[in-house]
Amino acid sequence: MPGAAPSAGGFPSAGGHPPGGDVPPRHLVPLERAEALRLLAGVPFGRIVFTSRALPAVRPVNHLLLDDAVVIRTHDGAALTAAAVGAQEGVVVAYEADAIDPVTRLGWSVVVIGYARPVTDPDRLARYREALRPWVAASMDHTVAIRPDLVTGFRLVAEAAG
């Protein structure tokens, strides 16, 4: 909308109403695992959910899907780095990514739950560091791989499947 002020979410607001206010409710259609992972691989960033000081923590990060794992980079002072390095079996995390249009309310969301473990194999480390460039201006010295043990997702569609 020309001249409309952006809302807190960065989208233009029409008289205080969110975009897509005239759009009918959408239907949720579950995704199969393979389709969910394909969609996840097609977007550059998501949100890592982990526990920090006994509380949930969420951080936006960029990722790649490599070797059947969600791969992210972290820095030395990151709570996730400390948790993953300190746990012998890794640490349970959730990773969420989506692509939902705020105007049409169509799109998808995928959640992966699994163990986040530091990558220590020198060959894998070199390959992952070359493939995954951090988006933030910080030294991302650690690489973490999340094995997708549980994969769920859904599409938001206009019409229910009949």
The band of 4, judged by pLDDT with boundaries at 50, 70 and 90, is very low
The per-residue pLDDT of the chain, averaged, comes to: 84
127 pLDDT exceeds 90? yes
Helix (H), strand (E) at residue 84 = helix 79-86
**What residue segments make up the domains of the chain, in order of their start?**
30-156
Write the CA distances from 46 to 20, 40, 64, integer angstroms. Answer: 23, 9, 10
3-state DSSP assignment of residue 78? coil
* The architecture CATH gives domain 30-156: Roll (2.30)
Q: How far is residue 160's CA from residue 162's CA, in Å, rounded to a whole number?
A: 6
Task: Give pLDDT, residue 44.
Answer: 94
Q: Report, as an integer, the average pLDDT of 33-41.
A: 97
Between 6 and 94, residue with greater pLDDT: 94
